[in-house]
Structure 1
Amino acid sequence: MPKIATLFATLLAAASAMPAQAASFLFIRHAESTANAGTAATPQEALDPPLTALGQQQAIDLAKVLASYNVTSIYTSAYQRTQKTIAPTAALFGLTPTIDARTNEWYYGDAKSLSDVSNAQLYGVIGAWAAGNTAAKTDLPNAESLDDLAARVLPAWQEIIDAHRNDTGTIVIVGHGAETGFVMPYFARNVSSGFAFANGMRNTGIIQVELVGGQPYVTNWQGTALAVPEPASWAMMLTGFGAIGYVMRRRRRVATRVSFA
């Protein structure tokens, strides 16, 4: 019975913590960059590339999409492609984005030439991650594994969630393909790594995250709706555990009367 009571109290606290209205969090990948297009000319440009002409148009189109939202805060990485992607939206809403380098893209290591960051090598590491070896990394100095990347990114995301969990409106976090898409299974309660790797983020793709019972769940992954616990299901769980507790208390009273009969 004490375990049931503890679980009931935990669920009750979680349910009471859910606001009637809460912020939505949109995790968005940047628009097309020269690195995406394969035209980056130096390792430095590959690391922090500008947007292509197509990417600039995607940024304008993204602002048109987000115009229907009540965007109240914007966060970006320290790279120019995320900041330029959201610049039209920031201007539309009169907001100044908060820049956080912890949400920068996966650091594949200290490259001295473009051959050091060949697609074959990078895709080989990502393939190892998809196969379950999340500790894999390139052989370049200071390279990050997926586990390293998640350890860097998650505290920044959690701070954003904590700062806005009782707000209304829409919080926009503009990031990167690996940094957002591949780290999301570490963060959201209803996304597996298999799903994330099978549904990689496209340029200006949007992942919508909502808080359910105070925990982050993906409600929509680039147009695909994902199942999340409904508030009503929490109420049903509370009712169910309350009923279990009642039955157990009743059985204990009956057993007590029998033992002293």
Structure 2
Amino acid sequence: MPSETIETNSHTLVTIACLSDNYAYLLREKETGVVALIDVPEAAPIKAELNARGWILNQIWLTHHHFDHIDGLPDILADFPAPVYGGAADAHRLPELDVALSDGGSFELGDTQVHVIDVSGHTIGHIAFFAPAAQAAFTADSLMAGGCGRLFEGTPEQMHASFAKMNNWPDDTLICSGHEYTTANIAFALTVDPDNAALQARNNETQSARAAGRFTVPSLMGLERATNPYLRSGDTGLRKELGMPQATDAEVFREVRKRKDNF
């Protein structure tokens, strides 16, 4: 299945499978018809989706510099020229940016306001894009379906702080993360939060979805809050399972991430 589409009242969100397990996204505002592409793992499936829909690109947003999020950009720009947006703090490692963004800033896609959040941890300078009117957040390899990205550059404390920035998003926010890692993330989550009924149900749903060839991304923020161990550092059951009832939330986060690294 090369893509899946979610329609809201005001936007169309298209999730596109790329490479072996990456996702790119198209976000279209229905009123104006403007379209953004979020991350560019490879060009061919994105071009195919744009051509099939007869869409052009108005903006391209990059979350971070890893090759599997940017390598398709030159080929896309050749056929779909559009300004490239990315983090100012990561600009020295990103392709040339037309718009450099900073934490706490915002910009518009048509009439849709997009908030920029520094979510360093996976890399330093990784950003997320939150578009409340679209009920969508593009988190790439920070907040992921059932997990969080590996800490290649940042510390657990940095990633915990990044998760805290995202944890107040509404339950109906679509979390558009960068990879199809949900099966493995949920399998690990069950080792630290085994009595979580919502997590057990999610495991069954994830297994069924993958068996049927369906994507498990995007996920809903409410589901992440109920099942993602990195958002549950304060949960008494998880703390009991870890043997850390008196630890700080950041210490619990660090321990969960350490266990995942060794899973």
| TM-score (norm. length: structure 1) | 0.28
Larger relative contact order (CA 8 Å, sep ≥ 6): 1
Where is the helix percentage greater, Structure 1 or Structure 2? 1
Greater Cα radius of gyration, structure 1 or 2: 1
- The structure that is strand-richer by fraction is 2
